[in-house]
Structure 1
Amino acid sequence: MYLQRLKLIQFKNYLSREFSFGGKFNCLSGQNGMGKTNVLEAIYYLCLTKSCQGLSDRQLVTYGKDFFRIEGDFEQEAVAPEEQSVVQLQALERQGSDLQNMAADVEEAYVPYGKYETRKSAVVAKVIPGKRKEFEVNGLIYERLAEHIGLLPVVFIAPDDNLLVMEGSEGRRRFLDLTLSQLDTDYLFKLMKYNKLLRQRNASLKQFAQQGTFNQSLIATYDAPMSELGDWLHVRRREFMESFLPWFQKYHGLIAGREEPVECIYRSPLEKGPMAALLKKQLERDRMLQRTEAGVHRDDLLFSMGGHPLKKYGSQGQIKTFVLALKLAQYRLLSEQKGKKPILLLDDLFDKLDNGRVLSLLQLLNGEDFGQVFITHTEGEALEELFEQGGLGAPVHYKI
């Protein structure tokens, strides 16, 4: 899968700008503050319907404007027509096509390409902050934005990814959830339901404390579905980590240039028992703290190197290498399980990595296991020299 064309209208510092990209390496160079990362932000937004930096839609609009629009033309290998996109079929059904017209409309979105087919997807995001944003694929508007997640898998690597190691568990859970949500729509919808019930339960606990009351029956209406969802999410996360760990360790060795004992261990309160039992045991404490203490919303990943906590003993370079390996393992599992290579976004590639490790990384990404790659860097000439030194050919290069 790769992005052929990107058009930005009133997106951050771009009033109107169009880019054409190649299927492998694409570089954006220029001084800080010129808009290199904004291009990666726009690509990420088209793939996942939100900012990669946690910005609100209002913060993405060009100053003084009231809307933005992003257009992207993607091309991807897809399975045969009998296994066509459920999302596309559902969208056509919502628009009232009969079965005959529906089949014809879907067929037009495919162009024969040997055993597989090259599927062209024209994706458009139309956003007016404060109002419902619209995403459409090939002219079909999603009823729920969550339906889009996973259609265009993406992995983003940024300088502040070291916060995965250095800060609290929320970012590490977000890493898990972002990966699994792109892999499995069912996971995403179950996670959304769980989080909604969690917010409702916490709001009720807080209200009880303020009013000096307690309604056991109301809490029970939250606990039953939360427990079922929590147990399911726990199993799915555990299964994912079993397949994730070998790839993580492999890529860490390749980037570091040597074998080092590294671990990424999944920890959950549900290791002590099913969630229903934990909620019951913790109820009095929850009442006192006015929040739900037990559940998969307390899960974490423990990072270590050589048997020691990475956060405490790892150098900046070791942490950077560790996080790169996490993201490349994320990429590999998305690629294997989705059946298409995600887009890889590398922001400020040289941050905390020497030229030797950067060159090793580029050579790794040049292999068949990886698809389209976007790289930002302040020194365009230095980047081109590395490509030449590694025998990687000339990338598509925009000087911003």
Structure 2
Amino acid sequence: MIIKDLSLINYKNFDSINLEFDDKINCLVGQNGIGKTNILDSIYHLAFGKSYFNPVTSQNINHDADFFVIEGDFFNGEKNEKIITSFKKGQKKIIKRNGKIYDKISDHIGTIPLVIISPTDRDLILEGSETRRKFMDGVISQGDKIYLNELLKYNKVLSQRNALLKYFAANRTFDQTSLDVYDDQIVGIGQNIFEKRQNFIEKFLPILQARYSEISHSREEISLTYKSQFKEKTGFSEILKSGLKTDLQRQYSNFGTHKDDLIFKIKKHSVKKFGSQGQQKSYLVALKFAQYDFLKSQHGMKPILLLDDIFDKLDEDRVKQIVQMVSKSDLGQMFISDTHPERTEEVVKQNANQYKMINLEA
């Protein structure tokens, strides 16, 4: 998959801009605050129907405007795809594919396979389980619409169950029959989600281990473990019932696949607690390139790769390794953002024959 050109109107700091891209490597350069990351985010927005950095849609509109439009022309190896995402204050967001409006934005997920590597990805290691679940769900959902729909159903039921728990507390009442309606769905849908997540990890782990070895030049043993309450020996229905007292006290559902987590380890030790900065960075880059490989195998096409501000977050050797990997025939189109044009071009020129420099200050 490649994006050939991009047009923005009132998106973040841009009033209007039109850009054409190279099929292989595109380097977005310029001072901080000029909009390099916003260009990358607009491409992400076309793929997922939302911003990677700010999920509040209205906050992605340029100041003094009341709407934005993002338009991109893609080529998937067989045909052209025109994707338009637009939003006006007070109205629903619209995504069009080749002129046809989607009924549900979720139907668009997976059309544009894409991977982004950003400084904010450190949250995958440092923050709580929700961040890691979102990563896992995002990878699976790009290639499995049934899974995405199950996930949306589960979250809706979970929200309804939590609302019922709050109702019980506010009115000092309790109705087991009403609760059972939601519990049955939590267990049924949750079982399907658990099985697909477990199957994903089994396929994903060897890809991750291979990428880590390539990026770090290391023989360190790494692991990725899926942690879920569904792995408990007792049935999940029993776990749900045994936790009812806690749920009623906290007015929140404390048991289910919404509590799942991923455990990252190097040499059998937590990457978060014991990994050096270099090891954490290598693990994160390996995680994203493994995501790339997995999506490529699922879609049968090369995803777009967005690298945001990596020169300031990774040492130059790691950046060179990344560019070398992307320059190989098994990887497709890549975007790099950086504040130093000379540094970027020097590294890219050493490792790639085909690239385009885009200076946003010009």
TM-score computed with the length of structure 2 as normaliser: 0.97
Matched letter for residue 327 of structure 1: K
Partner in structure 1 of residue 316 of structure 2: 355
The answer to whether the aligner puts 1:244 opposite 2:219 as a matched pair is: no
Partner in structure 2 of residue 64 of structure 1: 64
Q: Is the Cα–Cα contact under 8 Å of residues 227 and 274 in structure 1 kept in the other structure?
A: no
Question: Which residue among 287, 297, 300 is the counterpart of 1:326?
Answer: 287
The answer to whether the aligner puts 1:267 opposite 2:227 as a matched pair is: yes
Partner in structure 2 of residue 42 of structure 1: 42
Map residues 1-400 of structure 1 onto 2, 5 A cutoff: 1-77=1-77, 118-272=78-232, 273-390=234-351, 392-400=352-360
Q: Is the Cα–Cα contact under 8 Å of residues 54 and 60 in structure 2 kept in the other structure?
A: no
Matched letter for residue 48 of structure 1: F
Q: Is the Cα–Cα contact under 8 Å of residues 320 and 347 in structure 2 kept in the other structure?
A: yes
Deviations 1:1-25 (A, max 9, x none): 1000100001011111001111111
Judged with a 3 Å threshold, the aligned counterparts in structure 2 of structure 1 residues 50 and 146 are, in CA distance, closer, same or farther, namely same
Taking the aligned partners of 2:250 and 2:284, their CA distance within structure 1 comes to: 34
Q: Percent identity among equivalent residues?
A: 42
Matched letter for residue 23 of structure 2: G
Taking the aligned partners of 2:39 and 2:64, their CA distance within structure 1 comes to: 20
**3-state DSSP of counterpart to 1:5:** strand
Report the aligned-residue RMSD: 1.1
Q: Is the Cα–Cα contact under 8 Å of residues 205 and 290 in structure 1 kept in the other structure?
A: yes
Q: Is the Cα–Cα contact under 8 Å of residues 8 and 15 in structure 2 kept in the other structure?
A: yes
Taking the aligned partners of 1:277 and 1:130, their CA distance within structure 2 comes to: 45
Q: Is the Cα–Cα contact under 8 Å of residues 29 and 398 in structure 1 kept in the other structure?
A: yes
Taking the aligned partners of 2:62 and 2:207, their CA distance within structure 1 comes to: 40
Taking the aligned partners of 1:229 and 1:129, their CA distance within structure 2 comes to: 35
Taking the aligned partners of 1:275 and 1:139, their CA distance within structure 2 comes to: 45
Q: Which moved more, 1:350-359 or 1:148-157?
A: 350-359
Taking the aligned partners of 1:261 and 1:351, their CA distance within structure 2 comes to: 27
Taking the aligned partners of 1:352 and 1:132, their CA distance within structure 2 comes to: 36
**3-state DSSP of counterpart to 1:232:** helix
**3-state DSSP of counterpart to 1:292:** coil
Q: Is the Cα–Cα contact under 8 Å of residues 230 and 275 in structure 1 kept in the other structure?
A: no
Deviations 1:214-265 (A, max 9, x none): 0111111111112110000000000000000001011111110122111111
**CA deviation after TM superposition for structure 1 residue 352, in Å:** 3.1
**CA deviation after TM superposition for structure 1 residue 394, in Å:** 4.4
Q: Is the Cα–Cα contact under 8 Å of residues 316 and 352 in structure 1 kept in the other structure?
A: no
**3-state DSSP of counterpart to 1:304:** strand
Q: Is the Cα–Cα contact under 8 Å of residues 46 and 123 in structure 1 kept in the other structure?
A: yes
Superposition misfits of 4+ residues, deviation over 6 angstroms: none
Q: Is the Cα–Cα contact under 8 Å of residues 57 and 129 in structure 1 kept in the other structure?
A: no
Deviations 1:84-109 (A, max 9, x none): xxxxxxxxxxxxxxxxxxxxxxxxxx
**3-state DSSP of counterpart to 2:243:** helix
Q: Which runs of 5 or more structure 2 residues have no equivalent in the other structure? A: none
**CA deviation after TM superposition for structure 1 residue 140, in Å:** 0.8
Taking the aligned partners of 1:274 and 1:125, their CA distance within structure 2 comes to: 44
Matched letter for residue 318 of structure 1: Q
Taking the aligned partners of 2:54 and 2:283, their CA distance within structure 1 comes to: 23
Q: Is the Cα–Cα contact under 8 Å of residues 6 and 72 in structure 1 kept in the other structure?
A: yes
Matched letter for residue 399 of structure 1: N
Deviations 1:279-332 (A, max 9, x none): 122112211221111110000001111111111111222111100100110111
Give the number of equivalent residue pairs.
359
Q: Which runs of 5 or more structure 1 residues have no equivalent in the other structure? A: 78-117
Deviations 1:6-60 (A, max 9, x none): 0000101111100111111111011111100000010000000001013311111
**3-state DSSP of counterpart to 1:351:** helix
